[in-house]
Chain A
């Protein structure tokens, strides 16, 4: 077997050193009743050719988003990842390294993560960011628990246009962790008065910007209302590219920022692995979960980087840790960092503009179709259309025509039949004029 370097002579010599006749002798503590008793119905190993053929066949059964005009958003966005990113993250010293617990032998990972933390803090206009969490949904749940610790309260108000997966994950954690979640009803028109929901039992209010239906808002007044009541404001984003143009959470006086970083550096990959982002104010840093990389000086007086404030984490604090998180999304964070390093200040702002320009052009064309209404006043690169018939049927018809034409609201809010005619549509820099024309044409057809 190509991954196993021991030969039979090696094995015999090693067994002799150990002093047992065969390897099964090393398993003597395993009860005989359970050892090697089951006949496992699994095939034997294959060479590369056969494995490639088998998995290649599975891959060929999928319609990849690059093979069809793709306008899907809903918390995952199709962006162009520069060729450089994939080569750098596949360098073996990054790919095959462990968590950097031995800093002297991991300065590559540590410096890259220190830079990542800085990049995230800058994007969100916050003081400090962690070295990643699993995804936007779990980051939201962690933010609610962080707010509970900071305020010593137990109630999170979740805005009606928070991504339903973020809401659902937070509600699951709430049930078992012992706090309460007030989930406001879905709010396509961004009309909900969240300030009225806050009282002195509120630990945090969680909003999303742009919202799940696409609306863009300034939450400065809401932040003030939260703070007057002793609560914290958590601002989430599912589309990190929006921060190239949209006012960042830090400038709205938010206390905690959480986000999904998939849009930069990371492929869609059918939903994972993705990249949870979290940033906060300096004064809250000791309650922030996740790893933190800090600058340090070595014995020769040279600058370097180490994992720090680790006493908050599971391997030390155990049942009193800020989180049980251990492995996070290191390589995804590196991909994000490389992509953003390539974009830089000028490129990131321009990327955001191109996304917004594509979306405004698309919205214009689609809203012009008879029977189609644009729901949003504001949006960045994703907006909501109201169709004259259930959006799920329309999307299925579009798929049959080879167009991935948006996410029906019923896919994300299946328990809300009143949203069945809503379609979430996203456009990015990967959508050219012909994509847009094809979509508009096919949608008009499908609605005739």
Chain B
């Protein structure tokens, strides 16, 4: 059973069978513009919820990507090195950034579900 949640900094996290996949939302990619480069964390690095995990760079901006949950990085999306545009084309799917093993499932509780996130970005205008 897959659980999808969103942060106020426009990251999404999908929890499947004890592994969490993290990316940035379609809203985030559209505001960034064409992504030119991604700096991903090393496998094994211990991420802390709310702290910087990755950096995504477009022509006109560079944004920090924060870890929605704490945990160790188990995989990174190697396809992004040659094709950072995947993030623009498929932010919610093939444009994922990294996977991690969540340290504390309770950290999901204060994240938004899809309905709440949709309302949140509507308010941002």
Which residue numbers of A lie inside 8 Å of B, CB to CB?
A: 286, 310-312, 316-317, 320
Contact = CB atoms under 8 A, between A and B. Distances in A.
A317 B37 contact: no
Interface stretch (B59-67, B89-97, B98-106): B59-67
Contact of A317 (B36, B39, B59, B62): B62
A316 B37 contact: no
A316 B60 CA distance: 7
A312 B60 CA distance: 10
Interface string B31-42: 000001101000
B74 interface: no
Helix, strand, loop or mixed for chain A's interface?
helix
Given A311-B57, A316-B62, 11 more contacts: A286-B37, A286-B39, A311-B37, A311-B58, A311-B59, A311-B61, A311-B62, A316-B60, A316-B61, A317-B62, A320-B64
Contacts of B62: 311-312, 316-317, 320
B57 to A, nearest CB: 4
Contacts of B61: 311, 316
Contact of A310 (B39, B59, B64): B59
9 contacts: A286-B37, A310-B59, A311-B36, A311-B57, A311-B58, A311-B59, A311-B61, A316-B61, A316-B62
B61 to A, nearest CB: 6
Contacts of A317: 62
A407 to B, nearest CB: 44
A317 B57 CA distance: 10
Contacts of B57: 311
Contacts of A286: 37, 39
A310 B33 CA distance: 14
Interface in B54-95: 57-62, 64
Nearest to A317: B62
B39 to A, nearest CB: 8
A286 B57 CA distance: 11
